[in-house]
Amino acid sequence: MGERELKKYWELFSDVWNMFRLICKFNGSEQSWKKIINIGQDIVKKHDDSRLCKDLVLAIEDEFERGIKHE
C-alpha cells in the first residue's frame, strides 16, 4: 500500500473519529438523530461510499444508540 492509499485511510479514520467525538455531546432527541444521520451520510459520500466507511459510521451510530438506552 502506497502513501496515497494510506493518506485516504488516515482521512477516513480522522473523519469518523471526529464524528464520534461530536456526537458524544448529543442527546437522544429526534433532532440529534437527524444530525447524526446527516453527518454520517456526508462522511460516507466524502469517502466515495466506501464499505469500510459505511461500517464504521454504522458502528458509531449503534454505539450512540446503546449509550442512550443505558442512560
1-45 pLDDT, tens per residue?
899 999 999 999 999 999 999 988 888 788 888 999 999 999 999
**d(C-alpha 39, C-alpha 17), whole Å:** 12
| Helical pair 51-69 and 3-23, crossing angle rounded to 10 deg | 20
Number of other residues whose CB lies within 10 A of the CB of residue 15:
19
In the DSSP assignment, the letter for residue 34 is H
pTM as predicted: 0.85
